[in-house]
Amino acid sequence: MNKVTEELRTEIKNLIMETLGISGVRPQEIDNAKPLFGGENALTLDSVDALEIIMAIQRKYNLRIADQNLARSVIQSIDSIAEFLVAEREKTV
Amino acid sequence: MIIENFQHRMAAHCESGSITSLLIHAGMKITEPMVFGISSGIFFGYFHKMKSFAFPTFIVRNKPGQMRRNLEKRTGVRFYSKDFKNAAAGQEALDNLINKGIPTAVQVDMFYLDYVPSWERVHINVHFLVVIGKEGDVYKVSDSYFPGVVDLPVSSMNTARFAQGSMSPKGFLFYPKYVPASFDYQKAIRKGIKKACFYMLSLPIPFLGIKGIRMFARKITDWPSLARDTEHLSHEVMKINILLEDQGTGGAGFRFMYATFLQQAAEMTGRPELKSFAGELMEIGDGWREFSLFAARIGKSRDLGADKFKQLSMLLNQRADKEESFFKRLSKAIH
């Protein structure tokens, strides 16, 4: 069974920062567990950023997150994105 | 009391989600995309000048109530529905139904739902939820946008059910009073698809269906002249994203949900060609998402020059071309 690795978390952080053009934050400053929305984390994202991230995930990993309820839960935090990616990879194995 | 055996489910859309939960509770084996597809939920309408809208807007599904009526025609299910002149009568009727053990869907203004976080509360008079119990002065509510059953005080429920304004709920409630033991899925699916194709291709009204997408493409370049100022224009442009992605559409203005319906329909009817239509509609939905994201980006950055509206117009025309071709071929395939 695959597990969430620190490498995957960093990959996700880099993807988010590249997608949103964020340069003033280092990946290690972004908390893995804290929400990405609402100001508790080093990144403060909004709903437009959320859609940008959903589409970036689709492009990079070829995974469409169609439903908004699922999308909301997936992009809560770095950990939740990583767990989603690992779960989807397991489905294809 | 809480009605036993009612299973709370999250759903992509409040009305199709409420209908689905009620039908499953009543014994029908059906999914939300199937409810949406059989009832020909997919649609498009652009409203440039209407008294009820202060600024041009659009819809991406058929009007509230149409889903139930189309389901009745195609599956044989029968819904009881009623609206009320005052809150006392509306509450009495709801309480009687709950006491009888009947989960009941009600129409509400979302703004008055205490369990919705304050930053997410907006005045939407056509939100649907299912009431599944009452303990003292609190209703037990199954709201398909929330992961579990939530509480709502009776006073808030009454305010939400009798809110004023455009499309006011008037205490409207409904529940399935008859659910057939079985129905002809093949026939219902075929009729649902045929009607959806008719809605999208053949309504003789210039702002509905594919014609509506094309009208949107023509008229959106006028939007800057209709807005009060940049802030207002930015707000209206960002609303495009909200209407397509954030208001329980299942993503891409219901296109993803309809694609899921086609996928399920392919399996249930043994028509594999519907599966390739499903894949194609998913890609069309991706295009709507690109359009939605572009609108959100320019609205957020206030980058609202004429060139950007031309770009929005071009993206809309592309959607219209793709959907026209798609529904024409789907219509032929289903005959």
Whether the pLDDT of residue B201 is over 60: the answer is yes
- Give B290's contacts in chain A (Cβ within 8 Å): 55
Nearest-neighbour CA in chain B from A66: distance (Å): 5
Per-residue pLDDT at B46: 97
Whether the pLDDT of residue B81 is over 90: the answer is yes
In one-letter notation, the amino acid at residue B184 is D
pTM of the predicted protein model? 0.91
Q: How far apart are CA B158 and CA B171, in angstroms?
A: 8
Whether the pLDDT of residue A71 is over 60: the answer is yes
Per-residue pLDDT at A1: 52
Chains A and B: how many Cβ contacts under 8 Å? 49
- Give B246's contacts in chain A (Cβ within 8 Å): 47, 68
Where residue A27 sits, what CATH number does that domain have?
Answer: 1.10.1200.10
Q: How far apart are CA B308 and CA B5, in angstroms?
A: 52
DSSP state of B143: -
Largest CA distance in chain A: 38
Residue B241 sits at the chain A interface (C-beta within 8 Å): yes
Question: pLDDT, tens digit, for every residue of B220-231?
Answer: 999 999 999 999
A48/B249 touch (CB, cutoff 8 Å), yes or no: no
What residue spans of B27-133 are helical by DSSP H? 32-38, 66-75, 87-99
Per-residue pLDDT at A90: 86
Per-residue pLDDT at B322: 98
Per-residue pLDDT at A2: 66
Q: How far apart are CA B84 and CA B237, in angstroms?
A: 36
Domain count, chain A: 1
Smallest Cβ distance to A67: which of B12, B282, B300? B12
DSSP string across B237-283: HHHHHIIIIISS-TTTTTHHHHHHHHHHHHHHHT-THHHHHHHHHHH
Per-residue pLDDT at A89: 87
A38: domain range? 6-92
Smallest Cβ distance to A68: which of B238, B245, B260? B245
Question: pLDDT, tens digit, for every residue of B111-147?
Answer: 999 998 877 787 888 899 999 999 999 999 999 988 8
Q: A47: pLDDT confidence band, cut at 50, 70 and 90?
A: confident
Q: How far apart are CA B296 and CA B70, in angstroms?
A: 34
Whether the pLDDT of residue A48 is over 90: the answer is no
Per-residue pLDDT at A68: 74
Per-residue pLDDT at B330: 98
Q: Which of the two residues, B170 and A2, has the higher pLDDT score?
A: B170
What would the mean pLDDT of B251-278 be, rounded to a whole number?
94
Domain positions in chain B: 14-30+78-178, 185-334
CATH architecture of B14-30+78-178: Alpha-Beta Complex (3.90)
Q: Is B125 helix (H, G, I), strand (E, B) or coil?
A: coil
Q: Which of A48, A55, A63 to mutate to test the interface with B (most CBs of B within 10 A)?
A: A48
Q: B246: pLDDT confidence band, cut at 50, 70 and 90?
A: confident
